[in-house]
Amino acid sequence: MRCWRYYGGRAMHKVQLNQLELTLAIEPRGPLLIKSGGEGMADPSVPDMAFVRSAAPGGGPSIVYLPGSSLKGVIRSHCERIARTLGVPCCDPFDEKSDCRRETVAEDDPQRQPKIYKRVCPLCRTFGSTQIASRVRFADAFPEPGTIRTETRTSVAIDRLTGGSKGGALFQFEAVIAGRFRAKITLHNYQLWQAGLLALALRDLDAGRLQLGYGTSRGMGHVRAPIIEARVSYLGLAQGDGAVTGLRTRGGYRPLLGDKGTIFYGLGGLLDVPERTAYGLGDDRIELSRPVPTQANGLYVHQQLRAADGSVDPQVLDEFLAACVERWAAFVEERHKERVGEEKGDDG
């Protein structure tokens, strides 16, 4: 049996070790507008601010959609807020003098990728920077057919000097007031604490604590965003009858039969010891109280945590995400201990 071998960490992020796929059903709680650019200039029938549109999947007329970049920006910003609130330092991706941008390692250094991964802040490690690729992908969210309702509203610009309306500054904007968008978020080659941090941000989005798009100071942009599907995948093996026999890991082959579908692996749990040490990772895994049905297609092992048709106990995903949030809490505590140790070293 062929297995991966350790090459100084240079190939770790070039293979698929684990993946968490989350599907959200995003519904506006009130008016929602993700602005397009250049609208209303040549065509007076188009509002001054129109909702961004794209060709429908499979062809057909253009339809409104939620760009993945818009959702990623809101989620990353809130994750940064959570981290800073808990005392976990993270850089500003728009600041050229940020610590992560100053981290440089020689191109010919065989340990370049492990060194960068350990040195960048937790948020850049998760959402990416100029030094390291993102672990999270946000796909564009398209509406379910026949669910979208839009309306055109009229508003007036505010004079920032007087605080009153600005004469002759009426404008129109298009807002989605009802509908359902399917959004897919994929977290790959992830540590369990990263799934926990993402879960906290998505919880706040669903609770209406975050806002998307234009007019947030006016109360626009609140949405519901429940997770309706969730699946974990690993590169694996299956017998001829489809039964799962185990996982391919960077260290070789790990049987799954003894796990009974209750153990889930973060990145550190899928690496061999030398590579895990190079990247500064622990043996990352959690165990749930109930087994999760495990399937394989000959290449990937899949564990379904939630299904849109309700065929999976909804508490399975809740328990999985709660365990990942506990890993985030443990990660925060570790960072605090590291900072205390560094401060003591500086005092000495």
Per residue in 171-227, pLDDT (tens digit) is 788 999 999 999 999 999 999 999 999 999 999 999 999 999 999 988 999 999 999
Three-state secondary structure call for residue 225: coil
What confidence score (pLDDT) does residue 8 get?
A: 37
Q: What is the token pair recorded at 184?
A: 């897919």
Q: What is the token pair recorded at 133?
A: 């690729």
5 versus 103: which is more confidently predicted? 103
Name the pLDDT band for 5 (thresholds 50, 70, 90).
very low
- In whole angstroms, how large is the CA radius of gyration of the chain? 23
- Within 10 angstroms of residue 7's Cβ, the number of other Cβ atoms is 12
- Smallest CA-to-CA distance from 174 within 68, 92, 51, 66 is with 51
Rounded average pLDDT over 106-131: 82
- What does the alpha-carbon distance between residue 252 and residue 245 come to, in Å, rounded to a whole number? 13
Beta carbons of 39 and 50 less than 8 angstroms apart: yes
Where does 134-236 have alpha helices with state H? 192-206
Inter-helix orientation angle 192-206/68-85, to 10°: 110
Residue 134, Cα to own-chain centre: how many angstroms?
A: 9
Residue 175, Cα to own-chain centre: how many angstroms?
A: 26
- The long-range contacts involving 318-323, CB below 8 angstroms and separated by at least 24 positions, are 319/288, 319/289, 319/290, 320/230, 320/232, 320/264, 320/286, 320/288, 321/195, 321/196, 321/199, 323/192, 323/196, 323/264, 323/286, 323/288
Q: Report the percent of the chain where pLDDT is more than 70.
A: 77
* Helix or strand (DSSP H, E) at 322: helix 314-347
